[in-house]
Amino acid sequence: MLTTLAAFLGVSAIVICTPGQDTALTIRNTLARGRRNGIETALGVAVGQAVWTLAASAGLVALLQASEPAFHALKLAGAAYLVFLGGQSLWSAVRHERGREQLTSREPRTTSGRGFRQGVVSNLGNPKMAIFFATLLPQFVPGRRESFAALFALGIVFCFMTLTWLTLY
């Protein structure tokens, strides 16, 4: 059991340290709006992962895998949201370029909760996370008995590892 947990932690660390859309969003929000917003974004990502963990543990992800239209719709919604965030970043950059003579190039920090919402939506809009949790977590359940508690516990450990890593940015 201890070797299984060590293997899970190792695989999880490699996956978490590999940059992806959640990392890019966290870095973007940290640079644009400050450390607090970056931490809010990281927390939102972890909450999104917790939702996927719950869905995978309850077997709901299997339904998503079985329904091609539902998977495709979620994939398109996630892509649309990423395009929206990219457009926001470009618009913000153009706006700040026009007012470059001003010293403050950061967006206002009074957007409480904005980073959190972006983190949650970004993570939930990524259907690869559903497949990831549905395929990774069962590999590390002792005795190959996919119990809700075991899957959920591993998923929550993954969420905390992600939160810890992303807050380092």
Domain ranges of the chain: 2-8+43-167
Note the pTM of the prediction, 2 decimals: 0.74
Name the residue type at position 133: F
Over its length of 169 residues, how does the chain's per-residue pLDDT go in tens digits?
Answer: 788 899 999 999 999 999 989 999 999 999 999 999 999 999 999 999 999 999 888 876 666 667 778 767 767 776 776 677 677 767 766 776 555 444 444 555 545 799 999 999 999 988 778 878 888 888 888 765 667 888 899 999 999 999 999 999 8
Which of these, 91, 167, 155, lies nearest to 129 by C-alpha position? 155
